[in-house]
Structure formats: structure tokens, C-alpha cells
Structure 1
Amino acid sequence: MFTDQSFQVNTNKLNTDPVASQNTTPNNKFIFEEIEGNLFADAQENSSLAHCVSEDFKMGKGIAKIFKHKYQGVEELVNQHKKIGQTATLKRGNRYIFYIITKKKYYQIPKPEDFELALWDLRKVCEELNVKHLSLPRIGTGLDKFPLEYVINAITKIFEGCDMRMTMFYL
């Protein structure tokens, strides 16, 4: 778990007011929303999905295990040869499923810089694929133990100006 000091060091370059990044100015095309609901049942059918994984694609715990069983494709993901800080992608029907690689092994805790690097890559991939709506769980806050405030600040800073809506689901 992070100490208050490491949290401050790793987030001081990020926006400290996530509400300010929630489409409050006409120039900001990025809309972030957090809603209570089931990601798999409540996300719009045309919304792409994303979650964090390790480079080894074990996905044996947490929501990653559900993604693994629901969307399969582990061999396809492994064959993309993606590394920490990159995003592996599956296409399922009319949506993309993004696997944000934040650590090497499933049992590790990711470093904040790797988490942020992976978010930058996710943004790049979403822009390349013209993704306009992305739904995700509270990434990084479960087994990876990042504070929710840090995650939201990182997302809103990194995706600022990106022409998309991101919906974060929680139960």
C-alpha cells in the first residue's frame, strides 16, 4: 500500500481536481463519469471495455478472471507480445476489449509510472481505433491497491482533450 508521501510524489504532476476534467469547458472533449452498476450488464453494447492485467496474462483473480472467461482469447493476447506500459486488444463483436498491461507478473503490484505509461498507451490505441466510449471497472484499485483518487486523477489528466466518454463502473 502507498504511503501518503509516495502518493503525493506520484500524483503532484496530475490534475488534483477530477471534477474539473469532467467536460466543464467547451475545449475539453473528454467526459469522465463514475456510476454504480455492473460493467458487464450495464455498459452500452457499443462501448469498448478495458481493465488492467499483467504481462503474463494469468488473470486468475478479481475482475480479470471474469474478462478471461467471458472473452477468452488468452493465446491471441499472448501472441501480441505486448509489454508493461502497452495495451493488448481483442475485437469482440462491435467492441474492443483492452488489456492494459501494468506489471510483469500477476502477483506484483504495479509502479505508478507503469500504470500511467499504460494509460497513455490506452489513449493512443483508443484514438487510433476511433473509440468514442470506453467502459471500465475501478482499474488499479483492487488487487493493485492504488487509491481511487490517484486513479481518477491519472485518467482525467492523461485523457484530457481526447474525444471520448469514459464510464467507470463500481458495485
Structure 2
Amino acid sequence: MSSELQKPVNTDKPAEDSWRVNYITGDLFACAADESMAHCISEDIRMSKGIAVKFKNMFKGVDDLWNQYKLAGQCAVLKREQRFVYYLITKKKAGEKPTYSNLEGSLKEMKVHCLANGVTRISMPRIGCGLDQLQWERVEEILEQVFRDTNISITVYSVPETAEATVTKGKRRR
């Protein structure tokens, strides 16, 4: 027998750079039904603006989120059919702006949950970069730092620009 066949295979840690980020322009809510999803919310769980409203209406569970007693920098989780839905707590109150530190903490907590539950695919918007105004380049760096030692694939959805948005993009309000 060849000595190579006798060498044990290390299955504890995925190969370096086995994680990846994919980018899609389209509807986040059209992702596969067995793919986990993530987005950012505030500790007060208001979810009254932006994509958070769609998450609240689609997955319900506000009381379940409240009962997890999560703080900024942590991650609340709902199990819905074949997927987990991750609520990244990035700020204390809805009217505040998130911090990169809170985002990183919540992503680390999500990673721990993913690894413990066999989650290998997560779909998300450009987290923290819509109404919360974080810079995507920095968020992307944090995603890489947190997930680079995993086999978790992250698909980031961007909303397609409408013709109306493109026309009004350059106009200023007076």
C-alpha cells in the first residue's frame, strides 16, 4: 500500500480560502428555501424601515426575538422551515447608526451558530450599507476576516437600479 493512502486526512478545518462571497443583483427573498438568511436590526427590534420590514412580515417571530434578550454585537436567530434567519444586532436603537465593532461581533456569533448547525450557505443584503450607511468595502473586509476559515458561502444581494432611480440619482433636493 502507498504511504499516501495511510496518511490521515484532517477534516477539522476546511481548506484555506474555501469560503467565498458571491454577488447577485436581484431579489434576496427569491434565494433557495433551504438557504439561511441574515440582515441587521437594532436591539429594540423595531424593524420599521428598509429591508427589515420585509423580514418582519415574512418570518414573523418578533416575540421570539425579544425573548432571546440579545444586545448590540450579538445575533438573534429564528428557525423557519429549512433555514435559519439571522438577525445581526448592530446598534442599540433603531434611530442610531451601527458600529463596525457591533457588526463584527454579531457576525462572529452568527458564524459560531452556523458551524454548530451545519449551515454552509447564507444570503444577505449589503448588510449595514443601506439605511445604516456603513461602507461596503469595510463590511466586506469584516466578512472575510470572520468567515475565511470556514466553508460557508455568502451570497450578497443588491437591488437592481430602476430607471427612475438612475434618473433621479444625480438630482439634489432643495
TM-score by length of 2: 0.81
- Alpha-carbon separation, structure 2, partners of 1:144 and 1:158: 20
- Residue 27 of structure 1 deviates from its aligned partner by 2.2
Residue deviations 1:65-96 (CA, integer Å, cap 9, x gap): 11001110000000011111111111111001
In structure 2, the partner of 1:148 is: 136
- Equivalent positions of 1:41-56 (< 5 A) are 41=30, 43-56=31-44
Residue deviations 1:82-121 (CA, integer Å, cap 9, x gap): 1111111111110011100011101100121111111111
In structure 2, the partner of 1:68 is: 56
* Structure 1 unaligned residues grouped into runs of 5+: 1-25
- Equivalent positions of 1:157-168 (< 5 A) are 157-168=145-156
In structure 2, the partner of 1:108 is: 96
Asked if structure 1 preserves the Cα contact closer than 8 Å seen for 2:17 and 2:148, the reply is: yes
- Alpha-carbon separation, structure 1, partners of 2:102 and 2:79: 24
- Equivalent positions of 1:11-90 (< 5 A) are 27-41=16-30, 43-90=31-78
The alignment yields a C-alpha RMSD, in angstroms, of 1.0
- Alpha-carbon separation, structure 1, partners of 2:106 and 2:22: 20
Question: Secondary structure in 1 aligned to 2:22?
Answer: strand
Residue deviations 1:27-50 (CA, integer Å, cap 9, x gap): 222111111110002x11210000
- Alpha-carbon separation, structure 2, partners of 1:94 and 1:170: 23
TM-score by length of 1: 0.82
- Alpha-carbon separation, structure 2, partners of 1:129 and 1:141: 27
Asked if structure 2 preserves the Cα contact closer than 8 Å seen for 1:87 and 1:125, the reply is: no
Question: Secondary structure in 1 aligned to 2:114?
Answer: helix
Q: AA paired with 1:29? A: S
- Alpha-carbon separation, structure 2, partners of 1:161 and 1:33: 17
Percent identity for Structure 1 against Structure 2 = 38
1:97 to 74, 80, 85: 85
- Alpha-carbon separation, structure 2, partners of 1:144 and 1:123: 22
Residue deviations 1:116-155 (CA, integer Å, cap 9, x gap): 1111111111111110100001101011111111111111
* Structure 2 unaligned residues grouped into runs of 5+: 1-14, 160-174
Larger radius of gyration: 2
